[in-house]
Amino acid sequence: MQKTAIITGGSRGIGAATCQLLAKQGYNVVVNYLSNHSAARQACQEIKALGGQAMMMQADVAVESEVMRLFATAQNAFGAVTHLVNNVGILFEKTDLSHISAERFMKVMTANVLSTFLCTQAFVKQCSNGGAIVNVSSAAARSGAPFEYLDYAASKGAMDSLTKGLSLELAAKNIRVNSVRPGFIETDIHADGGEPNRVQRLSPQIPLQRGGTPEEVANAIALLLSDEASYVTGSFIDIAGGK
């Protein structure tokens, strides 16, 4: 059966590396993004240059109507969506509890957790023959990210609970739900937190003495999506260099 994957936030960073790897493995790939059209276009062009199948699709996955449009468009283009990577994640400037507004907290929860919930609901609705989902969480779910990103860490903790509950609720439908928890990975997200060189600064504290690459995370995502992991559900892979 032809495999089709939606990767939320697939235009940059870990999402883009995942899109490229899945396309190489023969999936039709839907590269979702929010606003950076040129990054999404480039991600698609790179896949097509390698002979893969990809379409770019703007949609804010924290908004239910846009998620429905995303899935309807993907189905029209490729048929049923068989695999889903809930990869979207945002964070804001590093700060402590007293400086995190209720508005910021809700934005982070909405973008990271509600998007996962909505995309999973849409995926399951159109899934007739089983499938696989990978949620991209974070090592922050374990550390709590004190004095930096309490809101972000809490959103990833909520995602981990979703992964566990969904894996049990969807097992009888033969839909597997797993998670990866990256540590410090070289992407643009650290600039959003106000420290573009965060990974280099923290490298000495990582047991493997370096940050990870988006491709190293993509490898684990692809494994969990694949038939090689056909008996794996409700599992978490930490990709954090031992941290």
Q: Active-site residue numbers?
A: 152
Is residue 188 near ligand NAP by the rule CB under 6 A?
yes
Confirm if 150 and 157 have CB atoms less than 8 A apart: no
Is residue 12 near ligand NAP by the rule CB under 6 A?
yes
Is residue 62 near ligand NAP by the rule CB under 6 A?
yes
Confirm if 163 and 179 have CB atoms less than 8 A apart: yes
Comparison of 160 and 234: residue with beta carbon closer to ligand NAP: 160
Among 67, 132, 184, 218, indicate the residue that binds ligand NAP (CB under 6 A). 184
Cβ-proximal residues to 145 (8 Å cutoff; 6+ apart), any chain: 152, 153
Among 29, 61, 81, 222, indicate the residue that binds ligand NAP (CB under 6 A). 61
Cβ-proximal residues to 136 (8 Å cutoff; 6+ apart), any chain: 14, 85, 86, 87, 89, 179, 180, 182, 217, 221
Comparison of 21 and 61: residue with beta carbon closer to ligand NAP: 61
* Total residues at interface with ligand NAP (CB under 6 A): 29
Is residue 36 near ligand NAP by the rule CB under 6 A?
yes
Among 1, 35, 197, 242, indicate the residue that binds ligand NAP (CB under 6 A). 35
Among 5, 6, 14, 177, indicate the residue that binds ligand NAP (CB under 6 A). 14
Among 46, 60, 215, 216, indicate the residue that binds ligand NAP (CB under 6 A). 60
Report the alpha-carbon distance of residue 224 to residue 197 in Å, rounded: 30
Amino acid in position 36: N
Confirm if 188 and 13 have CB atoms less than 8 A apart: yes
Cα 226 to chain centroid distance, Å, stands at 16
**Piece in contact with ligand NAP (CB under 6 A), picked from 13-21, 126-134, 166-174, 228-236:** 13-21
Is residue 135 near ligand NAP by the rule CB under 6 A?
no
Look-up: residue for tokens 């493995």? 25
Tokens of 5: 């994957």
Is residue 119 near ligand NAP by the rule CB under 6 A?
no
Tokens of 125: 């609705």
Is residue 179 near ligand NAP by the rule CB under 6 A?
no
**Piece in contact with ligand NAP (CB under 6 A), picked from 92-100, 179-187, 201-209, 224-232:** 179-187
- The residues with which 176 forms a beta bridge, in sequence order, are 132
Separate counts of helices (H) and strands (E) for the chain: 10, 7
Report the interface residues with ligand NAP, using CB under 6 A: 8-9, 11-15, 32-36, 39, 60-62, 87-90, 111, 136, 138, 182, 184-185, 187-189
